[in-house]
Structure 1
Amino acid sequence: MGRKWLGWVAAVLTIAVTVGTARSIGVEGVDWQAEANRVLVEGLQLYREGTAQAYRQAIDRWQEAAELFDRSGNPAMAANVLTNIGAAQLQLGDLNSALDTYQAALPRLEAMGDTHAIAQTLTQLAEVRSLRGEYQTALDTYHRALPLWEQTSYQTGIAETLNALGTVYSDLGEAQKAAETYAEALALVETLGNRANVAATLNNLGGAYLDLGEFDRAIESYNRALEIWQSIDDRSGEASTLNNIGYLYRQQGDLEKASSTFARAVEIWRDVHNLRAEASTLNNIGDVHFLQGDRDRALAFYQRALPLRESAGDRRGLARTRYSLARVYRQRGDLDRAQQEIETTLEIVETLRTNVLDEELRASFFANQQDYFEFYIDLLMQRHRQDSNTGFDELALHAKERASTRSFLDLLNAAASDLKQGIDSELFDRYQKSREQLHLLERRRVEVFGREHTDEEAQTLQAAFQDALADYSDIQARIRTTSPRFADLTQPQPVTVADVQQQLLDDETAMLVYALGTERSYVWIVTSNELTSYDLPPRAEIERLANGFLEAIYVPRYRTRPQLVATATRDLSQAVLPKDLDRLSQKRLAIVGDGVLQYVPFAALYLENETPSIDRFEIVNLPSASTLAALRRNHKTHRTPSKTLAVFADPVFSPDDDRFPNAVVTSELPPELDRSARQSEVRFNRLPFTRTEAERISRWIPDERRFSAWGFDASRDLVTNTRLDDYRIVHFATHGLANSATPELSGLVLSLFDLQGNPQNGFLRLYDIFNLDLYAELVVLSACNTGRGRQIRGEGIVGLTRGFMYAGADRVVVSFWAVDDAGTAELMDRFYRQMLENRHPPIAALREAQLELINTQEWNLPYYWAAFTVQGDWNLEQ
């Protein structure tokens, strides 16, 4: 059930044309009410034309209508017309204006007590929040709307809001909540008589059950939806659900049923002339034959799908089919043709990626294309094994870099760049609005093409997208004529192997780049004058060994058993570290991990002689080589901070904290903090050693060159309002939350109460961190799990490290797991002494501190000394 914006506008119009009782005749003899109704109707007629120009004209007419309603003494209709304006702005992709308009309408409607209109506006406002990727705020707003719909007994509003809530939960990865919400919506829509809505809700519910792996319940929902589509003769709905059922059978491994179900869907798609859907389902049938080992039949179906993809203008589908062809040609032994097809696929993907302007959607889109890059890398390394002198291994490493952290690279590049420089302000404003319009249209394409839709709906949306894309391309071309550097700023390119060797590496550093794959994995060792590559076990085997290693060194009942820890460490080390790593003359390893390896402390892994690699090497971690290049470019734009250290430590979390003077405070956690804490399994107990930690590290720095805040002073407001750009080092010692399901709920927990016992917002969330302004050479996150976050294939870990680097930090010290309070204080004291007294760079200082702990009796377990690593640049002078 998609959003029905035009339906809302029509509902408002009905109210407008029936309100004729309170007319106001001005001194000019004008009937303002009648004039307002006339202009309102003109706006509706323009809106229904569905073009960008007509939407703009509708906005102009409705703005005039709102003024006329105000003049006629009808503020209720003026407020309702504002919601129409918001709908038109939304159609234009102007999310900021739509947000402002709905927010302006809401208090006027609330002042009049119009519960139905308030609920309607909140629902629209929540939709805008969702489109902007502000999922938590969208959830909160939908939950504000629900009880209002219930007050009005408007069941359709309740049902649509529940469906929208289910979709947001699904976007957040909370499949269980999505299923529960869709089930609640289903119970309601079944009473309303619209059988198409019942079928659509069942389809949504089936998808949620499929995400949960509850195949029996998924097929039950899909079959019920199918019966309804057939009974109301909705053939597109029927085919869409059949396609979903076919996918379910494929997931279960029942390939015969999958093939026959897909075939039924193809017949319907052909009858209703839906080329895009027919091609997609033909490709699905080809995939089934490929899984069955019938390469010839698979090739035939892919070749049938290819011209349909081209005719439908389905570039994303075209990439999928060419990838499918590449797989078949590789299995047939035609490696040249396979490479040609997969390179064509990746060219399409790169073009599509630049057209997805929303950063979250771009990351999600690229994650869905990682199978293409994995296949390409594996193919090139296969060719390298056959001919090691043709440079296929170098091409494979560059392909890995092309596949990695591209959205983060875009963000870092934009963070330090003034895109407006040298560009006419009016032209730049058009560029921004054009981006927003494409942003919305791309989200709507994802939503519409992901559900049942008519040919007319698809064609209208595709035409609108192509018009918007043409406008955007034209504006970009005009900007490039005045700002030749514009393309470099907005579309940064990944570094090549030559770039890494000549510009990024020094003679003391070797870079290890990992790529985990389904059939086999790889590591490349890059030095300033050499490239070598090694085959590794498959992803699943490395994941099993890595998880066993992490469990052995972290879980309390295992970490004190030396033999178990040694065995788990040895097994993983032998799987992922080349045997001749000791031969390297370099003293430092820069690790570009992949998948689960991004959570592994390489300092604790064994070299061939079963000594920890920290005995031989300094270790630094990087999201990608291109990220290092971006960090170095950005560092060159930084001014040098005049002060040394800002530290925030030992906040007040609990109402029973003994630092309260007298009062006993009772309060619940804010909803978003409570939710993230539950998902992260964190309890907010006081961390007394963080005060000790802060005092110890502060003693190395004169008072006039440091800033310290602990206890009640260690607050979110103080962090966001302090000039942190004036400090070289920023240190947080507190609880950290890494929410892998919803990274925007990750953050640092600061004081939740003020000195008077009043609860306050103490959660420094990821978006707060992105908005900080830093020139820090080092940010230290002395907290639990600060190196963790949401793992997105190809993009890496979306979490606190990314936020602080975007804010301007060159390096970030983070933790791999929930650390010990006292042990961390001990490590940090030694780390700062090595850095500030002994003048070691941060990476070397952390190694020295960790070696000191290894040689103590109390802190020599890897659980204590291996928890922290440095992410970022090891050499700011390069």
Structure 2
Amino acid sequence: MVAPKRWLSILSVNSLMFFNVSFPVLMLPNIVNGGEVIAQTDPNAEAERLFKQGFELLKQGTAESLREALVKWEKALLLFRKTDNLIGQAAVFLGIGSVYDRLGEKQLALNYYNQALPVYRQVRDKGGEATILNNIGSVYDNLGEKQLALNYYNQALPIFRELPDRGREATALNNIGGVYYSLGEKQLALNYYEQALLLRRQVEDKGGEAITLNNIGLIYDNLGEKQLALNYYNQALPIFRELPDRGREATALNNIGGVYYSLGEKQLALNYYEQALLLRRQVEDKGGEAITLNNIGRVYNDLGEKQKALNYYEQALPVFQQVGAPHWQAITLNNLGSVYYSLGEKQLALNYYEQALLLRRQVEDKGGEATTLNNLGTVYNSLGEKQLALNYYEQALSIYQQVEDKGKEAIALNNIGFVYDDLGEKQKALNYFEQALLIFRQVGDKSGEATTLNNIASVNDDLGEKQTALNYYEQALPISKQTGDLRLEATTLNNIGTVYNSLGEKQLALDRFEQALPTLQQVEDKVGEANTLYNIAKLNRDQGNLTKSLTFIEKSLKIIEDLRTKIVAQDLRTSYFATVQIYYQFYINLLMQLHKQNPNKGYDRKALAASERSRARSLLDILAESGADIKIGVDPQLLAQEKQLLQKLNTLDQARQLNTEGYNPDELKQQIETLSNQLQQLEVKIKQNSPRYANLKYPEPLTASKIQQQVIDKDTILLQYSLGEDRSYLWLVTPTEISSYELPKKSEIETLARQFREEIISLSPVPETGNKLSKILLSPVANKLGNKRLLIVGDGILQTIPFAALPLTSPPTPLLLREGGNSEEGGNFASTLVGGNEGGHFSYQLSVISYQLPVTSQISSTLVGGNEGGQNYQPLIVNHEIVTLPSASSISILREQVKGRTPAPKKVAVIADPVFADNDPRFQIASQPKKEIENNNLTRMKLTRSLEDFLGSSFNRLEGTRQEAEAILALVPDNLEQLSLDFDANLKTAINPDLSQYQIVHLATHGLLNETQPELSGLVLSLYDEKGKETPGFLQLNDIFNLEMPAELVVLSACETGIGEEIRGEGLVSLTRGFMYAGAKRVVVSLWSVEDNSTSELMEKYYQKMLEKGKNPVESMRETQLEMLSSEERKAPFYWASFVVQGEWK
């Protein structure tokens, strides 16, 4: 039973990305010389003329005019000083300070204001004194010194009242309101703004009136009173236009855009932002321009137009740098990181977050610093770097606690809890969740409270504390109803159902699932709906309602298939992909149970087809988790359209599911339907124009009948396995029959398979466990195999064992049993095989589900026996050619891909003996190699993580691969070969299109077949260049799928398989499918790393058979392995059984 867990977690906390701007207003007095009459020849007259010219230039407000004003006033100041005109000097100080203020040079402005203040006091000019006090306050306001600013404003205000000067009194009131707004005292701010508005209307100060209207709008905007805010902004806008004041008109337009953004009217918001941007560029308001660029970027991001969002953010960034606004620069960098994270570009996301973090620390923006730390934690968490994630989350938590941001403190606690949960440290997870719960309750965050109650319940459920879990879920349910969050309510119901099921309360469980289902359908939560349908199907199966169960699981899988290309968001991938294979395993098992009841209705064929679809789905999931960006084999224009549509669709779909504020539900639904239709139309185009890519992205696996028709020939038998938690299955397929068999559960097979591998790798000449494993895997079909070629489609750990080394077995003697006394159509039969073995009794149940006589055909075989301890070891390779496949459908796709292809003109390219260590003797420099790879480099990080699964920390040199390469190329004319050794055995060589000129590409280097984390599989090439500089050397899945390598054969001769506790069995599959997609007709790969000399010997024999005797790669491999099996020194399977051939055998 699957309960969705922690879908409610907030994985990142993004900084605000749109900004409303209020105005600190600078008021200049009318500058005259005390009313005195001055002769035209007097220097004062010239000074005053220069001053007035400067004042007119100041009013123009452009950067150029402000600089010209400075020139005028500097000249005027010299003249006023000559005549000891103190009032004139003070006026010039005020004017110059105002210019520097507008140019953003605040300290210079402060310097001139402070020169003016004592002069105005000396001449007892109260108006001038108050103006300067106001303007000094404005500078401190802009510098973030809010208390200092308030002090100066409060000195200016009573003087303006005493004069009286109602206009400037209004200015001081407006500015005091601005400080209180910044300090979060919104009601106080509103009081001051309303006093200012009344005065400005009395004195008919239109400009001031519009400014205060804007600021009142800003207050209501932040209080969530969007319509009131819109009313005030719309009063301010026509006044700014009438004056005209283009700069402030742009601010009003920007703010109106912000309101429409909040109301979900994204297109209207965009319209206002674009008007604002045009005006801000006209008046050369660089800071305002960058703010509006940022706002436009946010709209496009929310609309799913990620590339456009990036474009606007990237335009904003250098402008913020130019005007010296590191705070806004950091916000923009953070926003860029968030977009790249949503696109799966995690390296770029890390780079931008790191830059943002540095700036936020420089400007001491504690809240922003914590936000970016949290986001870094989220990226590392998604990469599986749990300890790094914890480090960043804990730093964020500490800051949120310092700044007393309770809401985000709770989020950080929640995130830390998730990491500990993933690490299996359940008690620590509970501790953090409980702290988060307490805070959510303190701040009255009902949604956060219900979410965290769900999370606490989930951990208790994992700990087996079912009743405790139920208690927490039951607490969460009424709270989730209070919030009106239907998705949260439905998820809680589903989770309650899973606990009731565990407690054996099947009907109560079913009731909860059936309550959850219509709500999930209503909010169109497709992933949640599929999960609940699965849960209902499982309950019906458990109650014996198999047909009803089938209906529900097929509905669930229909949703899954519809979503197969639409899950691109990073925070949805893991939870979604983890469940897909569970659904398919259940479906296969259910179909086979139905087949036992009704053997003649073709359920076994449907199960085989489901197994094929599961494998196609699994590969897609691996590629998605690895972040593979496949560009080869598809029209770039169609690919760009697909990405753009998916980004839009995913963004809008998430907004709908999460009921995100700021989106109109009806508009969202219409937009999603339109985008879905466009995506379907595009899918048709891609299938027509780019079949290679379409076969990968939109797979249509073969049915059982098509497998018989398109894959199997008369000399070939397909053995396809599916491992399940309760039972496993085997299908035998020939052109004329399909037989299916029930096998033991996965854990039993995995135990034997592990032991079998371990015995082989320990150089056992006769792996004892092989007999037990063979009885399970081969005994059921032993009497049908003859000497046919065997196609093996393994599952899980079976993809990592050498079937060639399994001992031949005799078929079981059927013991027919009737189950339960039933006599249904076709009957139910079972046979029990009891076999003796050294060390004890071994038995298992085998159900023979259908049985037909095969049409036999002979393949010549060589019988080679080894006698050890009285046992005659005859491995499967003795009687059979063996080919392994990722899936039966893969060979059909491969044949279509290579149909009509002309073989490459050259023969063999070999890459061997790369440089892995900084102390390699091949370095020609005296100094130690430099470490120049970035700390957060993901390629190196992935390589390190993958290596951990192989119980190692470094790569040994493969010196034997040099001899291997030389022996192979000795068989090839010089003009038809390519050899890349040492530093040349690098990533650049491996991805070079020149390799497409060779029929065989031989890669003799460490290959990591990571079965625990298949997305970390790849090949390790030279990690250093000749100068000792570290270079990228990990050929990852993304690289492999983007190769152009139309080879007849690719050989990976030094691979190792890393098997962890959880075996997905997909490392080998993903790597070989990558080379097949790149164009390889066949891939030879090793399942473990074999001693250098024996590998060289095997490869030399192998290539001799292909290049000198003209035999095909499959036939050549079998003959080579038999030859080594016959030798005294190399007969142990360790030496010869490692190598398997995948792909085309013809």
Same fold? TM cut 0.5: yes
Distance 1:795 1:759 in 2: 30
Distance 2:932 2:1006 in 1: 14
- Pick closer, same or farther for the CA change 1:518–1:762 going to 2, 3 Å: closer
Partners of 2:940 and 2:1032 within 8 A in 1: no
SS state at 1:403 partner: helix
Give the deviation of 1:217 after TM superposition.
Answer: 0.8
Deviations 1:212-261 (A, max 9, x none): 11111111111111111112221111111111111111111111112222
Question: Given the alignment, which residue of 456, 471, 481 partners 2:674?
Answer: 471
Distance 2:898 2:24 in 1: 58
Partners of 2:256 and 2:269 within 8 A in 1: no
Map of 2:1056 onto structure 1 = 785
Q: Please state if 1:630 is matched with 2:893.
A: yes
Give the deviation of 1:379 after TM superposition.
Answer: 1.6
Q: Please state if 1:599 is matched with 2:773.
A: no
Deviations 1:830-853 (A, max 9, x none): 221222122222222222222223
Of 158-167 and 481-490, the range deviating more from structure 2: 481-490
- Pick closer, same or farther for the CA change 1:541–1:309 going to 2, 3 Å: same
Distance 2:1117 2:403 in 1: 64
Give the deviation of 1:502 after TM superposition.
Answer: 0.3
- Pick closer, same or farther for the CA change 1:752–1:395 going to 2, 3 Å: closer
Distance 1:360 1:855 in 2: 54
Partners of 1:546 and 1:596 within 8 A in 2: yes
SS state at 1:495 partner: coil
Distance 1:139 1:586 in 2: 56
Distance 1:31 1:835 in 2: 83
Superposed counterparts of 1:436-515, under 5 Å: 436-441=647-652, 444=654, 455=659, 457=661, 460=663, 466-476=669-679, 485=688, 489=694, 491-515=698-722
Give the deviation of 1:480 after TM superposition.
Answer: 8.2
SS state at 1:213 partner: coil
Q: Please state if 1:160 is matched with 2:371.
A: yes
TM-score of the superposed pair, with normalisation by structure 1: 0.87
SS state at 1:701 partner: coil
Superposed counterparts of 1:837-852, under 5 Å: 837-852=1108-1123
Q: Please state if 1:230 is matched with 2:441.
A: yes
Partners of 2:340 and 2:348 within 8 A in 1: yes
Question: Given the alignment, which residue of 88, 92, 99 partners 2:299?
Answer: 88
Deviations 1:608-637 (A, max 9, x none): 165221222222222222222222222127
Map of 1:23 onto structure 2 = 61
Distance 1:484 1:549 in 2: 43
Report the residue type matching 2:536 in the other structure.
L
Question: Given the alignment, which residue of 769, 774, 777 partners 1:568?
Answer: 769
Superposed counterparts of 1:692-731, under 5 Å: 692-731=963-1002
- Pick closer, same or farther for the CA change 1:166–1:644 going to 2, 3 Å: same
Distance 1:16 1:741 in 2: 59
- Pick closer, same or farther for the CA change 1:509–1:857 going to 2, 3 Å: same
Q: What root-mean-square deviation, in Å, do the aligned CA atoms of Structure 1 and Structure 2 show? A: 3.7
Distance 2:598 2:650 in 1: 44
Q: Please state if 1:9 is matched with 2:18.
A: yes
Deviations 1:533-556 (A, max 9, x none): 1111111222222222223323xx
Of 109-118 and 329-338, the range deviating more from structure 2: 109-118
The unaligned stretches of length 5 or more in structure 1 are none
Map of 2:906 onto structure 1 = 643
Report the residue type matching 1:23 in the other structure.
G
Distance 1:352 1:381 in 2: 26
Question: Given the alignment, which residue of 639, 657, 676 partners 2:920?
Answer: 657
Map of 2:941 onto structure 1 = 675
Map of 2:237 onto structure 1 = none
Distance 2:258 2:608 in 1: 55
- Pick closer, same or farther for the CA change 1:705–1:288 going to 2, 3 Å: same
Give the deviation of 1:403 after TM superposition.
Answer: 1.9
Distance 1:755 1:25 in 2: 53
Report the residue type matching 2:808 in the other structure.
L
Q: Please state if 1:276 is matched with 2:487.
A: yes
SS state at 1:10 partner: coil
Distance 1:762 1:105 in 2: 35
- Pick closer, same or farther for the CA change 1:502–1:58 going to 2, 3 Å: farther
Distance 1:333 1:758 in 2: 65
Distance 1:481 1:388 in 2: 37
SS state at 2:999 partner: strand
The unaligned stretches of length 5 or more in structure 2 are 1-9, 28-57, 66-242, 811-872
Distance 2:1013 2:277 in 1: 38
Distance 2:680 2:771 in 1: 56
Report the residue type matching 2:702 in the other structure.
V
Distance 2:1062 2:279 in 1: 49
Distance 1:113 1:279 in 2: 49
Report the residue type matching 1:53 in the other structure.
Q
SS state at 2:768 partner: helix
Report the residue type matching 1:471 in the other structure.
T
Give the deviation of 1:710 after TM superposition.
Answer: 1.4
SS state at 1:752 partner: coil
Report the residue type matching 1:634 in the other structure.
Q
Question: Given the alignment, which residue of 514, 517, 538 partners 1:327?
Answer: 538
Distance 2:557 2:1112 in 1: 40
Give the deviation of 1:738 after TM superposition.
Answer: 4.8
Deviations 1:337-379 (A, max 9, x none): 2222222222232223354367996797344132222222112
Q: Please state if 1:810 is matched with 2:1081.
A: yes
Distance 1:257 1:753 in 2: 55
Give the deviation of 1:380 after TM superposition.
Answer: 1.5
Give the deviation of 1:503 after TM superposition.
Answer: 0.9
Partners of 1:149 and 1:158 within 8 A in 2: yes
Map of 1:64 onto structure 2 = 278
State the aligned residue count: 851
Map of 1:404 onto structure 2 = 615
Partners of 1:791 and 1:797 within 8 A in 2: no
Of 521-530 and 618-627, the range deviating more from structure 2: 618-627
Map of 2:264 onto structure 1 = 50
Report the residue type matching 1:668 in the other structure.
K
Give the deviation of 1:309 after TM superposition.
Answer: 2.7
Superposed counterparts of 1:28-39, under 5 Å: 33=247, 37=251
Give the deviation of 1:281 after TM superposition.
Answer: 1.6
SS state at 1:405 partner: helix
Report the residue type matching 1:625 in the other structure.
A
Give the deviation of 1:741 after TM superposition.
Answer: 7.0
- Pick closer, same or farther for the CA change 1:108–1:833 going to 2, 3 Å: farther
Partners of 1:249 and 1:258 within 8 A in 2: yes
- Pick closer, same or farther for the CA change 1:795–1:102 going to 2, 3 Å: farther
- Pick closer, same or farther for the CA change 1:656–1:80 going to 2, 3 Å: farther
Question: Given the alignment, which residue of 321, 338, 361 partners 1:150?
Answer: 361
- Structure number with greater Rg is 2
Deviations 1:132-163 (A, max 9, x none): 22334433443343333222222222211222
Partners of 1:739 and 1:746 within 8 A in 2: yes
Partners of 2:797 and 2:1064 within 8 A in 1: no
Distance 1:204 1:731 in 2: 46
Map of 2:588 onto structure 1 = 377
Partners of 2:1011 and 2:1066 within 8 A in 1: no
Of 493-502 and 299-308, the range deviating more from structure 2: 299-308
Distance 2:632 2:944 in 1: 36
Partners of 1:62 and 1:85 within 8 A in 2: no
Deviations 1:750-793 (A, max 9, x none): 33344444444334333232322221222222233379899896
Distance 1:316 1:471 in 2: 20
Of 53-62 and 212-221, the range deviating more from structure 2: 53-62
